[in-house]
Structure 1
Amino acid sequence: MIISVVQVVLLLGLALLAVPVLVLLVQVVSARRRVSSVIDLSPQRPRIAVLVPAHNEAGGISEVVHGIVRQLGSADRVLVVADNCSDETAKIARAAGAEVTERFHDELRGKGYALDHGVAHLAADAPEVVIIVDADCYLGEQALDTLARRCAWTGRPVQALYLMHTPEGAGPMRKIAEFAWLVKNWVRPLGFHQLGLPCQLMGTGMAFTWQQIGRADLATGHIVEDMKLGVDLAEAGEPALFCPQAMVYSYFPSSDSGIETQRTRWEHGHLSVIQSYVPRLLGGALRRGSAALAGLALDLSVPPLALLVMLVASAWLLTALFWVGLGTVLPVLVASVLVACIAGAVLLAWSGYGREVITLGELMGAFGYVARKLPLYFKFLFNRQVAWVRSKRDSE
């Protein structure tokens, strides 16, 4: 009797774990299909406003603004929101060619409030499309034109391919972080895009019609305001569309403190979103019969890659112990299948997209990377980050 109860409990836990593992595998396999470079774009370029939220970005804002200005048309504009800045961000951004508005508030701090302030500023002369670009991000060739025309043609929010690169000379652990980012922001959304499903918003390289961004609930201190915005728009019937033909990119901080702040914000925010929004989206998908909401819920259910690997490995070890101690064979067999699935997904993603980022030998050292992130996940359980905190830049 005890063995039967234990086996049922283990199998139920494995069934829950199988959902994100299988979603990841489906996304990776789908991403391996050939992607057409031809997409439908509006024949006329809409009037663009590029919105750049910035907090103490004096060290890099000039280069970012210059890159944006080079892609603007005569009717376009770039607005930098210098949010609670104590440096010369505003002055440098103006000198680089941006329109600047400054915002100060002792309590309401964070990117969401900066975006809300910027949208309110734009309302006096509203553009047709608003594109959000972070103050540490650079644009790929014709990124603004592609995003704006795609948004105007589809009437949906459009997310560019957003990649993060490691600084030159970075060690294997940093390369593994870059590979994990590549899987999350390129391989996974591309796989669902191939299946006609929406993607998550990623915080930068996001294009919206004025109607969409004008009515969005932006004035929040949510730790991952981009994920929340993507969910809100999907529930309103306007899920985001992935556009890998447009690219934005940035660089991981080289300092350990900068990386730790960044990872904590992203991963604690993602785990909080899984708890808060996945059940809600699944309920909405069932009520409306919406494949888009179901797809977004499944995508959000996939935790950070390191955590998913850690959970699968732990599940296998636990079921193996019960097999040795109680003779429960089925759970360890199911766990072994999950190990094979996630290993296959990672290897397929590496062979298709990650070879230039990391060698196979370096990838095999990922166990050390996973182990180093254990404190971050324990912190989520006992002292999670709930407020938006900006990552420290290398120039600071």
Structure 2
Amino acid sequence: MLVLLLQTIQWLFLTLLAVPVLVLLVQVVAACWAAARVVVLSEQRPRIAILVPAHNEAGGIGEVVAGIRAQLETGDRVLVVADNCSDETARIAREAGAEVTERRHETLRGKGYALDHGIGQLAADPPEVVIIVDADCYLGPQALATVARACMQNNRPVQALYLMHAPEGTGPMRKIAEFAWLVKNLVRPLGFQKLGQPCQLMGTGMAFTWQQISQANLATGHIVEDMKLGVDLAEADQPPLFCPEAMVYSFFPSSDSGVSTQRTRWEHGHLSVIQSYVPRLMVGAIRRGNAALAALALDLSVPPLALLVMLATVSCMISVVAWLALDLMWPALASIVLVMCIGVAILLAWSAFGRKVISLGELLSAFAYVARKIPLYFKFLFNRQVAWVRSKRDTE
């Protein structure tokens, strides 16, 4: 009886684990080999407003605004929301040529509230398209025009390619983090884009029609407000599109404290979204027969890559022990196959997209990177982060 119970638990866990593993593998294979979708954008460029939420960004806001203004045309605007700032963010942004609105509130803090405030300021003279760019992000060539045209032409939210780079001279752990980010923000959404499926919103490089963004529920303190907004829009039959032709980029903090704060917010937020929204989206997809909702639920079900590797490895070790001790062969073989699927997906992603980011030798040292993140996941179980916290910048 005990053996049967253990086997049932094993199969249940392996079934749940197989979903994100297979989604990852399908996305990577599609990104590598599926035919590219031909995107023909209209020549007509809509009037745009760039919304930049900023909290104590005096060290870099001037350069960011200058980069944005270089891509603006007549009638476009750039609005910086200096949110609860205690530095010179507002003054420097104005001197760089941006419109600036300052917001202060003792309790309602976070990016979502800043965005809501900015939309309220734009309402007096609404643009056709609003593009959100974080205050530490830089633009690739023609990024604004590309996402604006894609948004207007498809009448759907559009997410640009958002990359994070490791600072020069950093060690292999930062390079592994950059590769994991590349898989999450380029390889996986590209695979789903080639299969005609939506993507998650990534927080910056996001374009919306005025109607979409003005009706969205932005005023929340959600730890990953971008993921929540993507879910809300998908449930309103406006699933986001991925536009890899446009790029925004930023850099990981070089300090360990900055990386730790950033990683905790992203990963605790992602796990909270899996817990709260994936079942809801899947139920909604089944009830409405909505393939886009189902695809977004599957995409969201894939946890951070390090955690997925950790879960598959631990599951495999336990299953092999159970095989040797209790002759439970089939669960062990299934867990070995799942580990192999993750390995194949990672190597394919590295071969096609990651060679310039990290060497194969550095990639094979990733187990140390995974081990360093174990406390972060235990913290999620017992003391998870629920409030938005800004990461420390290198300019501070």
Distance in structure 1 (CA, Å) of the matches to 2:178 and 2:171: 11
Q: Which residue of 2 aligns with 1:136?
A: 136
Q: Which residue of 1 aligns with 2:164?
A: 164
How far off is 1:6 after superposition? Answer: 1.7
How far off is 1:206 after superposition? Answer: 0.1
Residue 117 of structure 1 pairs with residue 117 of structure 2: yes
Call closer, same or farther: CA 1:102–1:281 in 2, change over 3 Å. same
Q: Secondary structure of 1:42's match?
A: coil
Q: Secondary structure of 1:86's match?
A: coil
Residue 27 of structure 1 pairs with residue 27 of structure 2: yes
* CA deviation vs aligned residue, 1:131-175 (integer Å, no higher than 9, x gap): 000000000000000000000000000000000000001100000
Q: Secondary structure of 2:336's match?
A: helix
How far off is 1:176 after superposition? Answer: 0.2
Distance in structure 1 (CA, Å) of the matches to 2:341 and 2:370: 18
How far off is 1:35 after superposition? Answer: 6.0
How far off is 1:39 after superposition? Answer: 1.5
Distance in structure 2 (CA, Å) of the matches to 1:42 and 1:147: 12
Distance in structure 1 (CA, Å) of the matches to 2:354 and 2:244: 16
Residue 42 of structure 1 pairs with residue 8 of structure 2: no
Aligned-partner residue type, residue 103 of structure 2 = R
Q: Secondary structure of 2:136's match?
A: coil
Q: Which residue of 1 aligns with 2:268?
A: 268
How far off is 1:180 after superposition? Answer: 0.2
How far off is 1:335 after superposition? Answer: 0.3
How far off is 1:285 after superposition? Answer: 0.2
Q: Which residue of 1 aligns with 2:345?
A: 345
Distance in structure 2 (CA, Å) of the matches to 1:295 and 1:158: 16
Distance in structure 2 (CA, Å) of the matches to 1:2 and 1:117: 58
Contact 1:42–1:152, Cα closer than 8 Å, also in 2: no
Q: Which residue of 2 aligns with 1:279?
A: 279
- Within 5 Å, which residues of 2 pair with 1:51-90? 51-90=51-90
Contact 1:146–1:245, Cα closer than 8 Å, also in 2: yes
Distance in structure 2 (CA, Å) of the matches to 1:12 and 1:249: 40
Q: Which residue of 2 aligns with 1:376?
A: 376
Contact 1:37–1:245, Cα closer than 8 Å, also in 2: no
Aligned-partner residue type, residue 216 of structure 1 = A
CA RMSD, aligned part only?
A: 0.9
Distance in structure 2 (CA, Å) of the matches to 1:370 and 1:14: 20
Q: Which residue of 2 aligns with 1:18?
A: 18
Which contiguous aligned blocks of 4+ residues in structure 1 show a shift greater than 4 angstroms? 34-38
> Gaps spanning 5+ residues in structure 1: where?
none
Q: TM-score, normalised by structure 1?
A: 0.99
Contact 1:40–1:153, Cα closer than 8 Å, also in 2: no
Q: Which residue of 1 aligns with 2:293?
A: 293
Residue 306 of structure 1 pairs with residue 283 of structure 2: no
Contact 1:227–1:273, Cα closer than 8 Å, also in 2: yes
Contact 2:37–2:193, Cα closer than 8 Å, also in 1: no
Distance in structure 2 (CA, Å) of the matches to 1:28 and 1:235: 26
Contact 2:62–2:96, Cα closer than 8 Å, also in 1: yes
Call closer, same or farther: CA 1:121–1:8 in 2, change over 3 Å. same
Distance in structure 2 (CA, Å) of the matches to 1:149 and 1:16: 39
Q: Which residue of 1 aligns with 2:228?
A: 228
Aligned-partner residue type, residue 390 of structure 1 = R
Count of residues in Structure 1 that have an aligned counterpart in Structure 2: 396
How far off is 1:37 after superposition? Answer: 8.0
Q: Which residue of 2 aligns with 1:217?
A: 217
Aligned-partner residue type, residue 65 of structure 1 = V
Distance in structure 2 (CA, Å) of the matches to 1:35 and 1:185: 19
How far off is 1:42 after superposition? Answer: 2.8
Q: Secondary structure of 2:123's match?
A: helix
How far off is 1:38 after superposition? Answer: 4.8
Call closer, same or farther: CA 1:30–1:36 in 2, change over 3 Å. closer
> Gaps spanning 5+ residues in structure 2: where?
none
Q: Secondary structure of 2:163's match?
A: strand
* CA deviation vs aligned residue, 1:261-300 (integer Å, no higher than 9, x gap): 0000000000000000000000000001011000000000
